[in-house]
């Protein structure tokens, strides 16, 4: 594609993304589907540019004000993720001079808000929570996430999967904590590998893998993934169960559950039952009350632990959304808890770093009437049983707490309980 046409396409895409009407990855995917003239390299460059803009939006808008012309075009020039020399052919002499001045601006002299690139409400919360670790966390979420894979233990071991990846010329290594995880360098086309089509591997962040391991599903049990989404953790649980027992994947979104079906077919699991529910009080949920061995609640949340992958979330979430989510999280946790039989395990998790969605929800459950029928389980012991490496570094008190700057994963929280005998 000619540099001028590519710059125009990038400007158009950024304009669409910055409306914040839909998640950025969805907008990008829709744009690519409608732009068949774009090659793979051009798609990578456009995608990288969009997410670079979202990561540093206040800073780039600040720099863009010193130029002239369309704002979105200036943002693209500042954040371009492709061959800069190639795009230079589409720029005017004035734009080239302006861009060089912007790149010479010393970042350390800028105000805090232009260095952390967070909305004020979120920055204040994280500064209180992290103290001196705030800036290392900011730096970590400003980098793209690595590509993590989970090995389908119902089909293969990690060493075998690693060997096949290396035979395919893909640089890969074991994840530092998860015993079933692999971290891959770069962005290889995994879907072209037999390893993927045969269901040996699934893309899944290491932190998400740890949530499934924490649930500890076993052969022959009845297990519920209460907020299954597209089913990444559902598949991990089914593999833990060695394709035995009964595993329900509940979600209110039929669209998300539909995305599970092709992955389920590749996995060869036959013990998974996807069920679309209307809400947490659905009759199909109530019918399982007191019958279930394990329940994983990966609750709807702000998703702010995934800012490396979804930087638009920091501009789409608000304190008002956070308050509504807190109410929903408490209701879902209470409903899911009623499914457990005595001795059954309940795991509550989010991909959020915020206390309001994590420790405060767990504490409210402990104090509730339903919560008094449960006792807290120390997450450290559960991780040790799951053969997770260096588990002590992953916990805060009785709970799992993963940080991107410490652990290299998305940010996750989890707490676990056991149902007491009546």
Cα distance between residue 63 and residue 78, in whole Å: 8
Residues composing the chain: 422
Cα distance between residue 328 and residue 290, in whole Å: 22
Distances in Å between the Cα of 407 and the Cα atoms of 28, 55, 124, 307, 399 are 29, 20, 22, 15, 15
SS (H, E, C) 161-183: HHHHHHHCCCCEEECCCCCCEEE
Cross-strand bridge partners of residue 275: 250
Distances in Å between the Cα of 399 and the Cα atoms of 60, 247, 349, 415 are 38, 25, 10, 5
351 in active site: yes
Cα distance between residue 332 and residue 2, in whole Å: 52
Query: Cα-flanking dihedrals φ and ψ of residue 227, to 5°?
Result: -125, 75
DSSP string across 180-204: TEEEESS---GGGSHHHHTTSEEE-
Among 411, 414, 403, 413, CA closest to 136: 403
Residue 176 DSSP class: S
Catalytic hit among 102, 227, 301, 351: 351
Q: Which residues are catalytic?
A: 351
């Amino acid at each position: 594609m000619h540099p001028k046409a590519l710059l125009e396409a990038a400007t158009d895409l950024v304009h669409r993304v910055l409306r914040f009407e839909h998640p950025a990855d969805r907008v990008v995917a829709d744009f690519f589907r409608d732009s068949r003239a774009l090659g793979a390299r051009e798609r990578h460059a456009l995608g990288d540019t969009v997410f670079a803009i979202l990561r540093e939006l206040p800073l780039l808008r600040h720099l863009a004000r010193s130029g002239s012309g369309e704002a979105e075009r200036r943002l693209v020039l500042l954040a371009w993720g492709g061959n800069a020399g190639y795009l230079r052919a589409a720029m005017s002499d004035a734009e080239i001079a302006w861009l060089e001045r912007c790149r010479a601006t010393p970042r350390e002299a800028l105000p805090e808000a232009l260095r952390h690139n967070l909305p004020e409400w979120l920055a204040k919360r994280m500064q209180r929570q992290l103290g001196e670790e705030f800036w290392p966390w900011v730096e970590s979420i400003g980098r793209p996430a690595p590509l993590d894979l989970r090995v389908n233990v119902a089909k293969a071991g990690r060493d075998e999967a690693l060997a096949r990846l290396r035979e395919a010329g893909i640089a890969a290594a074991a994840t530092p904590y998860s015993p079933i995880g692999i971290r891959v360098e770069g962005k290889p086309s995994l879907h072209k590998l037999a390893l993927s089509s045969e269901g040996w591997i699934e893309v899944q962040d290491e932190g998400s893998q740890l949530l499934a391991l924490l649930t500890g599903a076993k052969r022959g049990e009845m297990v519920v993934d209460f907020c299954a989404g597209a089913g990444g953790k559902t598949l991990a649980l089914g593999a833990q169960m060695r394709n035995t027992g009964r595993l329900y994947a509940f979600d209110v979104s039929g669209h998300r559950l539909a995305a599970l079906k092709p992955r389920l077919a590749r996995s060869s699991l036959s013990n998974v039952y996807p069920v679309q529910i209307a809400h947490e009080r659905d009759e199909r949920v109530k019918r399982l009350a007191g019958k279930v061995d394990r329940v994983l609640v990966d609750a709807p949340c702000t998703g702010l632990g995934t800012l490396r992958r979804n930087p638009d979330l920091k501009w789409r979430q608000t304190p008002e959304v956070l308050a509504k989510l807190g109410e929903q999280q408490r209701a879902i946790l209470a409903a899911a808890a009623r499914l457990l039989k005595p001795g059954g395990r309940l795991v509550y998790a989010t991909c959020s770093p915020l206390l309001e969605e994590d420790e405060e929800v767990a504490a409210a459950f402990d104090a509730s009437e339903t919560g008094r029928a449960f006792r807290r389980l120390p997450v450290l012991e559960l991780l040790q049983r799951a053969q997770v490496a260096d588990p002590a570094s992953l916990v805060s008190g009785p709970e799992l707490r993963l940080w991107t700057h410490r652990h290299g994963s998305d940010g996750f929280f989890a707490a676990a309980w056991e149902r007491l005998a009546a």
